[in-house]
Chains A and B, each alone.
Chain A
Amino acid sequence: MVNIFEVNETNKMVEQENLDVRTITIGISLLDCIDSDLDKLNEKVYNKITTVAKDLAKVGAEIEADYCIPIVNKRISVTPIAMIGAAACKSPEDYVTLAKTMDRAAAKVGANLIGGYSALVSKGMTTGDEMLIRSIPMALTQTERVCSSVNLASTKTGINMDAVRLMGEILLEVAELSKDRDSVDCMKLVVFCNAPDDNPFMAGAFHGVTEADAIINVGVSGPGVVKTALESVRGESFEVLCETIKKTAFKVTRVGQLVAQEASKRLGIPFGIIDLSLAPTPAIGDSVADILCEIGLEYAGAPGTTAALAMLNDQVKKGGVMASSYVGGLSGAFIPVSEDQGMINSVEAGAITLEKLEAMTCVCSVGLDMIAIPGDTPATTISGMIADEMALGMVNQKTTAARLIPVIGKGVGDTVEFGGLFGYAPIMPVNKYSCADFINREGRIPAPIHSFKN
Chain B
Amino acid sequence: MEKKQKAVITVVGKDTVGIIAKVCTYLSEQGINVLDISQTIVQDFFNMMMIVDLGNATKSLGDIQADLDALGEEIGVDIKCQREEIFEKMHRI
Contacts and interface: CB of A to CB of B under 8 A. Distances in A.
Interface of A: 1-4, 6-11, 65-69, 251, 254-255, 257-258
Contact of A4 (B35, B49, B86, B88): B49
Contacts of B29: none
A7 B89 contact: no
A2 B47 contact: no
B43 interface: no
> At the interface, is chain A mostly helix, strand, loop or mixed?
helix
Given A4-B48, A68-B86, 9 more contacts: A1-B36, A2-B87, A2-B92, A4-B39, A6-B90, A7-B87, A8-B47, A8-B49, A9-B91
B33 interface: no
Contacts of B49: 3-4, 7-8
B47 A10 contact: no
A41 B80 CA distance: 48
A258 B85 CA distance: 8
A228 to B, nearest CB: 15
Given A2-B51, A11-B80, A251 B90 contact: yes
B86 A258 contact: yes
B80 A66 contact: no
Q: How large is the interface on B (under 10, 10 to 19, 20 to 34, 35 or more residues)?
A: 20 to 34
B16 to A, nearest CB: 19
Given A1-B36, A7-B49, A11-B10, A255 B86 contact: yes
Contacts of A66: 61, 82-83
A67 B83 CA distance: 5
Which residue, A3, A4, A251, has most C-beta atoms of chain B within 10 A? A4
B82 A254 contact: no
Which residue, B36, B47, B84, B91, has most C-beta atoms of chain A within 10 A? B91
A277 to B, nearest CB: 18
Ordered nearest first, which 5 A-B pairs have the shortest CB separation? A2-B87, A4-B49, A6-B91, A254-B89, A67-B86
B89 A257 contact: yes
B61 A4 contact: no
A2 B61 CA distance: 20
Nearest to B92: A2
Nearest to A323: B89
B87 A6 contact: yes
Which residue, B49, B65, B80, has most C-beta atoms of chain A within 10 A? B49
Interface in B54-89: 61-62, 65, 80, 82-89
Contacts of A11: 10, 80
A10 B91 CA distance: 9
Nearest to A61: B62
Contacts of A255: 86, 89-90
A7 B80 CA distance: 11
Contact of B62 (A3, A10, A65): A65
Contact of A67 (B38, B62, B82, B91): B82
Interface string B29-50: 0000001101110000001110
Nearest to A262: B85
B86 A10 contact: yes
A9 B90 CA distance: 10
B19 interface: no
A65 B8 contact: no
Nearest to A11: B10
Given A7-B8, A65-B65, A2 B83 contact: no
A4 B80 contact: no
Nearest to B82: A68
24 contacts: A1-B36, A1-B51, A2-B8, A3-B49, A4-B38, A4-B47, A6-B91, A7-B49, A7-B87, A8-B10, A8-B47, A10-B87, A11-B80, A65-B61, A66-B61, A68-B80, A68-B82, A69-B86, A251-B90, A251-B91, A254-B90, A255-B90, A258-B85, A258-B89
Contacts of B92: 2
A6 B89 CA distance: 11
A65 B10 CA distance: 15
Contacts of B35: 1
Contacts of A2: 8, 51, 84, 87-88, 91-92
Contacts of B40: 4
A105 to B, nearest CB: 28
A340 B35 CA distance: 43
Nearest to A259: B86
Contacts of A257: 89
B20 to A, nearest CB: 14
B18 to A, nearest CB: 20
A6 B62 CA distance: 23
